[in-house]
């Protein structure tokens, strides 16, 4: 794999989070408008239940937005241009099973027809390979993962 793929993947992940944040913000705006229109209604208990449901949904989305913003900040701190000698935060590596990007827990991301699992440094799989170098092996869930490439 081309070493510049790591930079492209990093940029792609930032763009994915940006899009998710825009979607959450759009949904929150819509819910705020719905809440405003609920104030104009006066249907008694039904009115109060509707307002409470909207407020709960807004709270949930607000928490998701905060978590997303924290992930964005973590991702921004990764220097995708520096090569890695060992698996660490910001590493892109291939095992005998799969490609992984130690960054944030995004799950599978497809770019240029390649699927890479974006995992947080604290994830169990990441913990099993942190500090490993090309050629090293780690055991994860009863399977041996051999580090084949590292960027």
Residue 127 within a domain? yes
DSSP 82-136: S--SS--TT-EEEESS-EEEESS--EEEEETTEEEEEE-TTSHHHHHHTT--TT-
Listed residues 29, 45, 77: the one ending a domain: 77
The reported pLDDT for the residue numbered 35 is: 81
Residue 85 within a domain? no
Q: Per residue in 78-128, pLDDT tens?
A: 999 988 999 999 999 999 889 999 999 999 999 999 999 999 999 999 999
pTM: predicted TM-score of the whole model, two decimal places = 0.85
* Domain that includes residue 10, residue range: 5-77
Flag whether pLDDT at 45 surpasses 70: no
Residue 130 within a domain? yes
CA distance 39 to 25: 21
Q: Which tokens go with 100?
A: 């992984």
Do you know the residue count of the chain? 151
Same domain, 13 and 63: yes
């Amino acid at each position: 794999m081309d070493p510049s793929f790591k930079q492209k993947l990093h940029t792609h992940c930032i763009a994915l989070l940006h899009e998710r944040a825009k979607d959450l913000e759009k949904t929150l705006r819509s819910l705020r408008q719905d809440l405003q229109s609920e104030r104009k209604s006066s249907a008694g208990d039904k009115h109060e239940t509707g307002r409470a449901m909207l407020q709960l949904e807004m709270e949930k989305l607000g928490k998701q937005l905060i978590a997303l913003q924290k992930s964005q900040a973590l991702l921004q701190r990764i220097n995708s241009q520096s090569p890695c000698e060992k698996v660490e935060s910001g590493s892109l590596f291939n095992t005998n099973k799969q490609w992984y990007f130690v960054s944030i827990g995004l799950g599978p991301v497809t770019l240029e027809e390649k699927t890479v699992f974006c995992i947080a440094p604290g994830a169990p799989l990441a913990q099993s390979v942190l500090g490993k170098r090309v050629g090293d092996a780690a055991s994860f869930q009863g399977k041996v993962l051999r580090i084949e490439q590292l960027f």
